[in-house]
Structure 1
């Protein structure tokens, strides 16, 4: 049975709040792990202009720490390579300062991408191998999130596993995301037979309470957890796949609907608590 310590909240759970309020919110719902995002900030950077020392004081005050930083990098993009190396290095240095355990990378989404599947695979291997070395030298781990969209260069977890194996990236693991599994139509049979659970480092959870097909569903439809009979993705059922496996990592809520940015502190708190209860009950 899952407990509060098994949960994490992504900053998009309360994207309209200042980072200081988000950290306080995590403490109030009893969750001690958070995900930061480089695409959400109330200042010039994703720490809302707080210094690393000021943010660390918040972490100590509210007994919260950063499970990962979700970075705005197209994982398999090899253009402007020196700039990418510099940006990754700078993010790694900041991750060290704030005690972040992982940095999360996502692949390219481009409907006009003319690369073959073999070229995409080779670019992923090349970049991950390099990033793995940079992160590893600083004691930071990496996460790769296959995106189920049709225009994604990396859609399926079993392909991502092959990439990590080819890159020999021992400090990288995969993210399993119920939304992206729905988009890519990953089944329980696929998960049981093709996904090595030991390579999964985090699970992202959300629900879509509208009747949208995998092709139609988008990030803007992703809300907090609702009952199975209301959720087209059946996220509670999907979560039970992970519960029944040998996965023992964090379960993080990642509802991306832009309307959440308009919600009050109390509304976000209520939805997080409700989601935790639904996932624990299964």
Structure 2
């Protein structure tokens, strides 16, 4: 019998659920791990919920907090960004989160050259490293595959992390959606801390036009090759969580999200055909 994939739930799966109910969902699905977000109006963090309350609830439910998603745009460093990073890091530590997701600038109007973007990335990583170390957190760098993104490929993130001596405190987010959009072929299992999974099924939209709103739960009609990406990561030795991150309103509007998630889990479990010994 093949072991189960170690699934997790990003808060975007069910943004309308109160935190306690979201944690119950994670327990019911036997995921045991979640990612919180600081960009959802009316939810914990954004609504002022004390981090100690979040920690208390998660401990009571036996749920692990993988990350807070996200510091944006982390690669455009400034006094303002430093203040944001310190505030978010303090909240993460107090609520029991293990790290912060770090997302780069995604702006078609970004005037910087490639060289300037690389320098900005290294400046930000250099400044963030001691903040993360001080707070006992990991920084999960998430390249965004959009053409307008300042950091599209994991290869460039790895070069920058190595260049500033940050291998102890930085990890990658392998997002199956962004990996596909960027046309990236390289995998970095030894540096990957979290995998974000979502599917796209709309065949009427070109690759350049795909946006977060097209991201649904992974099913038979998936165009992103989620199963193949997951299988490859496992073959290369990745043992971390696979966190559902669907942004589509059609998912958020479901009257019952649990059966939809269960079906997606069953589909991926069967499609990946995990080799023995690959469970987390």
Global fold match (TM > 0.5)? yes
* Aligned-residue offset at 1:40: 1.5
CA contact (8 A) 1:16 1:260 kept: no
How far does the alpha carbon of each residue in 1:158-180 deviate from its partner, in whole angstroms, 9 at most, with x for none?
11111111121120011111100
Following the alignment from structure 2 to structure 1, what is the Cα–Cα distance between the partners of residues 46 and 83?
A: 19
Query: Is 2:112 the partner of 1:115?
Result: yes
TM-score by length of 1: 0.90
The match for 1:243 among 234, 238, 241 is 234
Partner of 1:214: 207
Following the alignment from structure 1 to structure 2, what is the Cα–Cα distance between the partners of residues 75 and 82?
A: 12
* Aligned-residue offset at 1:275: 1.7
Partner of 2:132: 135
How far does the alpha carbon of each residue in 1:69-116 deviate from its partner, in whole angstroms, 9 at most, with x for none?
0024202113xx222212211111111111100100110011122211
How far does the alpha carbon of each residue in 1:10-61 deviate from its partner, in whole angstroms, 9 at most, with x for none?
0111112122211111111111110011111425x53644322322221122
Gaps of 5+ in 2: 273-280
Query: Is 2:194 the partner of 1:202?
Result: yes
Following the alignment from structure 1 to structure 2, what is the Cα–Cα distance between the partners of residues 184 and 91?
A: 28
Following the alignment from structure 1 to structure 2, what is the Cα–Cα distance between the partners of residues 256 and 182?
A: 16
SS at match of 2:207: coil
State the number of aligned residues.
Answer: 268
Matches within 5 A, 1:252-271: 252-264=243-255, 267-271=256-260
Higher helix share: 1
Partner of 2:224: 233
TM-score by length of 2: 0.91
Partner of 1:57: 56
How far does the alpha carbon of each residue in 1:121-151 deviate from its partner, in whole angstroms, 9 at most, with x for none?
0100011111111011111110000000000
Q: Please tell me the root mean square deviation across aligned C-alpha atoms, in Å.
A: 1.6
* Aligned-residue offset at 1:2: 4.5
The match for 2:162 among 160, 165, 171 is 165
SS at match of 2:31: coil
The structure-2 alpha-carbon separation of the partners of 1:234 and 1:13, relative to structure 1 and needing over 3 Å to count, comes to: same
CA contact (8 A) 1:125 1:163 kept: yes
Query: Is 2:147 the partner of 1:150?
Result: yes
Following the alignment from structure 1 to structure 2, what is the Cα–Cα distance between the partners of residues 135 and 210?
A: 39
Following the alignment from structure 2 to structure 1, what is the Cα–Cα distance between the partners of residues 99 and 86?
A: 13
SS at match of 1:155: coil
SS at match of 1:215: helix
Gaps of 5+ in 1: none
Following the alignment from structure 2 to structure 1, what is the Cα–Cα distance between the partners of residues 3 and 80?
A: 42
CA contact (8 A) 1:14 1:263 kept: no
The structure-2 alpha-carbon separation of the partners of 1:65 and 1:25, relative to structure 1 and needing over 3 Å to count, comes to: same
The structure-2 alpha-carbon separation of the partners of 1:2 and 1:276, relative to structure 1 and needing over 3 Å to count, comes to: farther
